[in-house]
Amino acid sequence: MSAQPVNPNLPPDQVTVFIDGVEMAAPKGSMIIQAADRAGIPIPRFCYHDKLSIAANCRMCLVEVEKMPKPAPACATPVMDGMQVTTRSEKALKSQRNVMEFLLINHPLDCPVCDQGGECELQDLSMGYGRSVSRFAERKRVVPDEDIGPLVATEMTRCIHCTRCVRFTAEVAGTYELGGMYRGENLQIGTYDGKPLITELSGNVIDVCPVGALTNKVFQFRARPWELMARESLGYHDALGSNLFHHARRGEVLRSVPRDNDGVNECWLSDRDRYAHQGLYAADRAMVPMVKDAGQWREASWDEALARATQILRDNAADGLGMLVHPATSNEEGALLAGLAEALDTGHLDHRIGLADLSDGAVAERFAMSVADIEQADCVVLVGTDLRHELPLVNHRVRKAWTRGAKVHAINPVEFDQTFDLASKQIVAPSGIVNALGDVALREAVTGANSAVIIVGALAESGPHAASIREAARTLAQASGAAVCRIPQGANALGLSDHGVLPTGLDARAMLAQPRSAYVLYGIEPGLDFADSAGAMQALGAAAVVAFSHFACESTLAVADVILPIGLLPEIDATLTNLDGREQRAVPAGALPGQARPGWKVLRALAGGMDAPGFDFTDLAGLRAGIAKREVTVSRSDAPGNADEGLEVAVSIGIYRTDATVRRAAALQAHPLNHGPRVVLNPADAGSTIGEATVGRFSTAMGTATVPVILSDKVAPGTAWVEGGHGATAPLASARIQAGRG
């Protein structure tokens, strides 16, 4: 290696390196293994992962470097100009085989019963680098297992101490829940305190584990990898639209794993997207058409159910009909629903079913700064959001920005647990968020940043002060040059807005406050999905209701007159538009249950029975060819009235209560993050209302609820924090509540 560059034509930040005789350019400071990966030259490894810091503790990647007397770890040896590296020399291979022999000294011989069998990195590499007979006859060590929760299974005797899981929880999740205990041959990886993993990203330790030490507890002993068919799909429980594969056997989805996309979810997956497939097979899944006669439900043929639905829609068309759509509905179904509303001459069509304040006519907007660029921001303002639970992998991007030196500020009614330090925080009642956004110190901090982003979340968007908060965020952005990223409230809220699933008549809130004679419910669980579920149930209960439904739940059975069973996203071919405006496609993985049909087919059949124009396509390709984005002038409703008395309510949806499928995933419901129905009060407010009671009785304009009370000084004074998505707390989604002893 000379002082002069080998290739003077390279940029100054590049060097020339030779790996197995192949000349290549590599960035200065990069490692040999990174250069080899870019060139497609395989080097075995266990501890190295390109999204984690370098540990260099497995030594499987030892290679021979010219002029170095001993083999060097490729993952921790920086490239130098003119460096000559050999990965397959006798010295390199002998070193790699010796490392493999040491790794297998204590490893149990249980590949036939290991869930990782068939996709185990240790198993694969031992075929190429292992000996046929072990030279060690000593007793193998045994490590006791630890119960780390309902999602991840442990078999720590198999652990090879690569520390990938430790680095993941420290660097990506930011929770520092796993670590090494003891020393030398007694080293064990564990949680120290024996408590379950709390991070919302815990399932990723399964993916990074190169052996069978950490496996999927829900998938455990269900199938072998070679029995599974992988199908490309999307996460549909938040607006990020994480890319994933569903693995299915004979039409049943058995597990979900991440699909790499650096612009969306990188190589990670939230636990909500990983385990929600359990909900597909809930006991109350809608599998046959049903009609209600004289208050009694019975199964019906598709022809009869469609005829009943057609009659209801014809008898109540135009102003008498309201159409309410779940915000995770696909673009194809949304376009057909907009066409059906037009054919029925009704402008009462909306997907914004969880929003209380639509007085400014707000609709979902693309992020002004892409998700991938958020990690490069130097100032982030979180407004009305528990980002860890709302968008776990966007929270990870904010953490990455913080690790690079970004300042993060938060304005919230609750001091949520964060995975990064806050430069400033303002914990105020929901009505105080607008004034907090006008704070001089905050404005100066945002204005002084080179790249600032304001992220507005569900607590702000769904509350009774949403319109004024949105305006205040825009004002701050205009004054400071920051980008405003309003989180779409629904997995496909942006796509449905683009395809015209918006009101030219009454919006979602208004069409329930001013009841229609009939409603179409599409993909909605009416008892839990509305901003005002109590009011919705009252309005729907007095009307004729056609429910396109995934589940025949109690609330649907209570209000509907016809139930038409439709497929969920893992069972259909569909597209969703994520918060960056990316239109992404999912293909079917699971079989449709019973007589359920893709929603677009049911809509086509229904519209065909009414001779509606625009429904003459015969397949999905024909449907997509006819789809065009619609410009809709959205009607506005009056701002919700705000009472002056009582505690203000801050409603956030529980991380595992976001939609009907997640609510039916047993493993997620057993997770410690699923707290159950409760009201959290500031101790000062509790003292003046319910005292030391552990159960409180809370009254609102929507009704009364008796639920457990938790006291916490992390809640702003004058505020009651309620997690939605529970039937017990549904009456509390109001602007203010009155509290008393239960």
Span 4-32, pLDDT tens digits: 777 777 888 899 999 999 999 999 999 99
Mean pLDDT of 211-236: 96
Residue 643 confidence class, pLDDT cut points 50, 70, 90: low
Q: What is the pLDDT of residues 96-124, one digit of tens each?
A: 999 999 999 999 988 899 999 999 999 99
The pLDDT of residue 705: 86
Q: In this predicted structure, what is the pLDDT of residue 633?
A: 86
pLDDT band at 692 (very low <50, low <70, confident <90, very high): low
Average pLDDT over residues 395-410: 97
pLDDT of 689:
66
Is the model's pLDDT at 298 over the cut of 50? yes
The answer to whether the CB of 383 falls within 8 A of the CB of 460 is: yes
**270-279, 402-411, 619-628, range with the lowest pLDDT:** 619-628
Element (H, E) at 246: strand 243-249
Q: What mean pLDDT comes out for the span 633-644?
A: 78
Q: What is the pLDDT of residue 211?
A: 95
The beta strand positions in 601-735, using DSSP E, are 647-653, 679-681, 695-700, 703-711, 719-724
- In a 3-state reduction of DSSP, which class is residue 131? coil
**555/697: higher pLDDT:** 555
What percentage of the chain has pLDDT greater than the value 70?
98
Radius of gyration for the chain, computed over Cα atoms and rounded to the nearest angstrom? 28
pTM of the model: 0.95
Average pLDDT of every residue of the chain: 93
- Higher-confidence residue: 266 or 689? 266
Does residue 2 surpass a pLDDT of 60?
no
Percent of the chain with pLDDT over 90: 83
160-169 confidence digits (pLDDT tens): 999 999 999 9
Instruction: Give the type of residue at 696.
Output: G
Contacts of 508 (CB under 8 A, 6+ apart): 324, 350, 351, 352, 353, 355, 358, 530, 531
**Residue 211: φ, ψ to 5°:** -130, -165
Structure tokens at 638: 């009056």
Instruction: Encode pLDDT of 38-62 as tens digits.
Output: 999 999 999 999 999 999 999 999 9
Report the C-alpha gap between 345 and 321 in whole angstroms.
9
Please check whether residue 203 is in contact with residue 150, taking contact to mean a CB–CB distance below 8 angstroms: no
Query: Model confidence over 412-435: pLDDT tens digits?
Result: 999 999 999 999 999 999 999 999
Q: Which domains does the chain have, with CATH numbers?
A: 14-103 (3.10.20.740), 142-281 (3.30.70.20), 290-357+493-625 (3.40.50.740), 371-486 (3.40.228.10), 647-741 (2.40.40.20)
- Predicted confidence band at 511 (pLDDT cuts at 50, 70, 90)? very high
The first and second tokens of residue 604, run together, are 């086509």
Confidence of residue 693 (pLDDT cuts 50, 70, 90): low
Interatomic CA distance for residues 684 and 670, integer angstroms? 32
Residue 729 pLDDT = 87
pLDDT tens-place string over residues 316-340? 999 999 999 999 999 999 999 999 9
pLDDT tens, 457-478?
999 999 999 999 999 999 999 9
pLDDT number for residue 1: 47
**Could you give the CA distance from residue 299 to residue 607 in angstroms, rounded to a whole number?**
22
Which CB contacts under 8 angstroms, 24+ apart, belong to 59-62?
59/95, 59/99, 60/96, 60/99, 60/100, 60/103, 60/125, 60/129, 61/33, 61/96, 62/92, 62/95, 62/96, 62/99
Q: Is the confidence at residue 645, as pLDDT, over 80?
A: no
Cα separation values, 648 from 489, 532, 645, Å = 21, 16, 9
